[in-house]
């Protein structure tokens, strides 16, 4: 997307560094230069899908509920809420006197508009399925009902009511996701797609958008109209894309970055030695996986998909490529969710040699040998870690009769291609929990999900997911249904799980409030800097 701007951007970035264009604080202004793995594809909460965007949107907007520095649920735009006895009706009381950054009041109508916009098929929201738990959510999104029929209403300007299809234990956790944040109707109707540009974007969070220079920085400034502005310590936060992890390390060491959210794992030992406790590593609810086109020959053959998955040496990748900063993964749902037992691949307990032998037999049966190889392309987004993972898999599959080519694009281009259902064989992807529930990892493989890059479609899987949703009032039964659904997904190889994530943050000792948690959530409003 920014190919033509690359040289100019590098030059601009170099000049900014040389002159201190946005890194040097003015007077007593507190500036936080925050490394962010990639630029956002959009700053429209209803048109985003990645954690790179979530970090920024969490600062710009405030949903009904939010997460604190420990990823615990806290009141957001709603100061309180009640739930009906049957668990299907949520009534939110909005903060009195809360306003948008332009001074207009935040009302229940804003949330009605925003929820309807998310589900409106005209919006093209990848995360529309997030609100399928709301009455008529799926029907609206699939054009079978009008947006006005969605189960939301403004009881009065300060009271917002949501009616669900069935009890949904994780509903409040879902509302911490950026797709449920409110957007400003007046700004969108006046400016159209330009409403997200600096000077146009109207937000209700702790910060407002001041600048957006692609491939360089996004500057947010403290929102004086935010209801808790007095407790916000950082005046300006610059989100700086750091796809080149090695360069990011140098910038962190030079003090140009106060934190960064990833590291080149091949440098792990050196970085531990150099930075000590500034390098923070810990468990993170996320799965690193390969999406595989299940509706395209020859990948529509489940035997072939399973053979490829079976042949991948996850232990080698975790140990040698990721330097034990990741764990081998055999399920879409990572461990660590209370009350849930993940369904792992049936070959997980086999030795790697036995797996490779079995995979080779399947490939030979299907007519693929080193002399007549299967052609397979792996797409991945820019990162040394992703490249090294793809190269390792390329080498692992070659002796089995699979000729792998690699295609690298920048992160925005990569995910935009996947979201638009582009044609490919296998593509690197990752899923970080939107909320602490197995559904967030399984829902991306549902037929209607915008994140179903594989185009996976299995009626039994859909049936079990529906059954789990209907069992919301019985947590144990619901978890059992979800585990059975995952079993179908894993056996049918709808996706290829490879690793379980850990967070890998570099944080300067000057930064406080950047506390570790399994969601790796760090809202700037809770951070301070010496």
Q: Report strand pairing: 236-241 vs 31-36.
A: parallel
Q: What is the CA radius of gyration of the chain?
A: 23
Q: Distance between CA atoms of 486 and 289, rounded to whole angstroms?
A: 15
Of the given ranges (18-27, 77-86, 189-198), which has the lowest mean pLDDT? Answer: 18-27
Helical segments of 224-313, H only = 245-253, 268-275, 302-311
30-245+508-529 and 282-503 have identical folds: no
Is 524 a residue whose pLDDT tops 60?
yes
Q: Tell me the C-alpha distance between 233 and 221, whole Å.
A: 11
Indicate the length of the chain as a whole number. 530
What average pLDDT score do residues 147-172 get?
A: 96
Q: How far apart are CA 449 and CA 429, in angstroms?
A: 15
When pLDDT is averaged across residues 356-376 and rounded to a whole number, the result is 97
pTM, whole model, 2 decimals? Answer: 0.81
**CA 107 – CA 139 distance, rounded (Å):** 26
User: How many CB atoms are located within 10 Å of the residue 255 CB?
Assistant: 11
3-state helix, strand, coil in the chain (%, to 5): 35, 20, 40
- pLDDT at 27 (0 to 100): 58
CATH 3.10.200.10 fits 30-245+508-529, yes or no: no
Q: Report phi then psi at 432, rounded to 5.
A: -105, 135
pLDDT digits (tens, 9 = 90+) for 421-431: 899 999 999 99
DSSP readout, 28-88?
T--EEEEEESS--S-S-GGG--SHHHHHHHHHH---SEEE-TTS-EEESSEEEEEE-TTS-
Beta strands in 84-158 (DSSP E): 89-94, 152-156
Please answer whether residues 159 and 172 qualify as being in contact, where contact means their C-beta atoms are separated by less than 8 angstroms. Answer: no
CA distance readout (Å), 6 to 11, 120, 214, 410, 431: 9, 36, 10, 11, 28
By C-alpha distance, which of 256, 239, 252, 248 is closest to 53? 239
| CA–CA gap between residue 101 and residue 210 (Å, rounded) | 12
What number is the average pLDDT over the span 347-366?
97
Give the pLDDT confidence of 461-511 residue by residue, as tens digits: 999 999 998 888 788 999 999 999 999 999 999 999 999 999 999 999 999
Using alpha carbons only, give the angle 471, 472, 474 rounded to the nearest 5 degrees. 70
515/61 Cα distance (integer angstroms) = 21
pLDDT for the residue numbered 47: 94
Closest CA to 385 of 261, 278, 299: 261
Beta carbons within 10 angstroms of residue 509's beta carbon? 10
- CA–CA distances in Å: residue 349 to residues 247, 330, 346: 39, 10, 7
- Kindly report, residue by residue over 79-102, the tens digit of the pLDDT: 999 999 999 999 999 999 999 999
Comparing C-alpha atoms, which of 339, 340, 299, 235 is closest to residue 492? Answer: 299
Task: Compute the distance between CA of residue 391 and CA of residue 398 in angstroms, rounded to an integer.
Answer: 11
The pLDDT tens digits for 100-122 are 999 999 999 999 999 999 999 99
As a dihedral over the C-alpha atoms of residue 236, residue 240, residue 245, residue 251, rounded to 10 degrees, the angle is -60
d(CA 310, CA 492): 13
Separation of CA 257 from chain center: 23
* Correct CATH for 282-503 of 2.60.40.1190, 3.40.50.12780, 3.10.105.10, 3.40.228.10: 3.10.105.10
Contacts of 79 (CB under 8 A, 6+ apart): 93, 94, 95, 96
Burial 64-79 (b: 16+ CB within 10 A, else e): bbbbebebeeeebbbe
pLDDT at position 276 over 50: yes
Is the pLDDT confidence value at 449 over 70?
yes
What whole-number distance in Å separates Cα of residue 523 and Cα of residue 24? 22
Query: From the CB of residue 85, how many other CB atoms can be counted at a distance below 10 Å?
Result: 6
- Residue 91 in 3-state DSSP? strand
Q: Is the pLDDT of residue 24 over 60?
A: no
Least confidently predicted of 30-34, 86-90, 334-338, 487-491:
334-338
Task: Map residue 464 onto helix, strand or coil.
Answer: helix
Summarize the confidence of residues 413-437 as an average pLDDT: 93
Q: Rounded distance, CA 277 to CA 271, Å?
A: 10
What's the average model confidence in pLDDT over 439-455?
93
What is the CB-side half-sphere exposure of residue 477 using CA atoms within 13 A?
11
Number of Cβ within 10 Å of residue 200's Cβ equals 15
Q: What is the mean pLDDT of residues 156-172?
A: 95
Give the end-to-end CA distance of the chain in Å, rounded to a whole number.
38
- Percent of the chain beyond pLDDT 70? 95
CA 38 – CA 465 distance, rounded (Å): 33
Q: Report how far residue 337's alpha carbon sits from residue 479's, in angstroms, rounded to the nearest whole number.
A: 10
With b meaning 16 or more CB within 10 Å and e meaning fewer, what string describes 373-383? bbebebbbbbb
257 contacts 37 by C-beta, under 8 angstroms: no
Question: Burial level of 254, CB count in 10 A (0-12/13-18/19+)?
Answer: exposed
Q: What is the mean pLDDT of residues 191-206?
A: 97
Give the start-to-end residue ranges of the domains of the chain: 30-245+508-529, 282-503
Q: 8 pLDDT exceeds 50?
A: no
Residue 25: is its pLDDT beyond 90?
no
CA 51 and chain centroid, separation: 4
Name the residue among 321, 318, 315 with its Cα closest to residue 350.
315
Query: What is the pLDDT, as a whole number, of residue 14?
Result: 35
């Amino acid at each position: 997307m920014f190919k033509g701007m690359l040289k100019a951007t590098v030059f601009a970035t170099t000049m900014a560094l040389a002159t201190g264009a946005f890194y040097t604080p003015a007077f007593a202004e507190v500036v936080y230069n925050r490394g962010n793995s990639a630029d956002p594809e959009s700053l429209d909460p209803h048109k985003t899908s990645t954690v790179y965007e979530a970090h920024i949107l969490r600062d710009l907007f405030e949903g009904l509920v939010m997460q604190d520095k420990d990823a615990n649920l806290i009141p957001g735009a709603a100061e309180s809420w009640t739930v009906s006895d049957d668990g299907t009706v949520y009534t939110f009381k909005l903060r009195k006197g809360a306003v948008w950054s332009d001074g207009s009041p935040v009302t229940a109508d804003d949330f009605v508009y925003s929820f309807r916009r998310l589900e409106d098929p005209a919006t093209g929201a990848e995360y529309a399925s997030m609100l399928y738990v709301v009455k008529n959510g799926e029907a609206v999104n699939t054009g079978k009902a009008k947006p006005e029929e969605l189960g939301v209403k403004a009881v009065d300007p300060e009271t917002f009511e949501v009616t669900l299809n069935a009890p949904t234990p994780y509903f409040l956790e879902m509302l911490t996701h950026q797709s449920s944040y409110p957007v400003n109707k007046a700004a969108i109707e006046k400016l159209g797609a330009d409403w997200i540009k600096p000077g146009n974007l109207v937000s209700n969070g702790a910060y407002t958008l001041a600048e957006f220079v692609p491939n360089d920085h996004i500057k947010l400034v403290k929102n004086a109209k935010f209801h808790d502005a007095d407790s916000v310590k950082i005046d300006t936060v610059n989100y700086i894309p750091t796809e080149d992890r090695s360069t990011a390390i140098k910038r962190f060491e030079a003090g140009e970055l106060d934190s960064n959210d990833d590291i080149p794992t091949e440098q792990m030992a050196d970085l531990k030695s150099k930075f000590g406790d500034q390098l923070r590593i810990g468990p993170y609810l996320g799965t690193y996986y390969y999406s595989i086109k299940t509706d395209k020959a020859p990948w529509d053959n489940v035997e072939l998909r399973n053979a490829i998955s079976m042949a991948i040496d996850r232990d080698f990748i975790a140990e040698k490529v990721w330097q034990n900063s990741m764990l081998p993964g055999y399920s879409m749902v990572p461990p660590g969710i209370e009350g849930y037992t993940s369904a792992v691949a049936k070959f997980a307990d086999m030795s790697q040699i036995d797996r490779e032998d079995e995979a080779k037999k399947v490939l030979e049966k299907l007519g693929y040998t080193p002399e007549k190889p299967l052609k397979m392309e792996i797409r991945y987004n820019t990162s040394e870690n992703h490249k090294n993972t793809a190269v390792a898999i390329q080498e692992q599959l070659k002796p089995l009769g699979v000729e792998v080519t690699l295609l690298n694009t920048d992160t925005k281009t990569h995910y935009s291609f996947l979201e638009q259902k582009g044609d490919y064989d296998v593509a690197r992807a990752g899923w970080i929990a939107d909320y602490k529930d197995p559904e967030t990892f399984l829902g991306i493989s549902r037929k209607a999900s915008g994140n179903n890059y594989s185009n996976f479609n299995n009626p039994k899987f859909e049936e079990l997911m529906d059954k789990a949703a209907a069992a919301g009032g019985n947590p144990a039964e619901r978890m059992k249904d979800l585990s059975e659904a995952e079993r179908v997904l894993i056996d049918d190889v709808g996706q290829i799980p490879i690793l379980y994530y850990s967070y890998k943050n570099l944080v300067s000792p000057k930064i406080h409030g950047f506390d570790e948690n399994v969601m790796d959530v760090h809202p700037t409003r809770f951070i301070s800097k010496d």
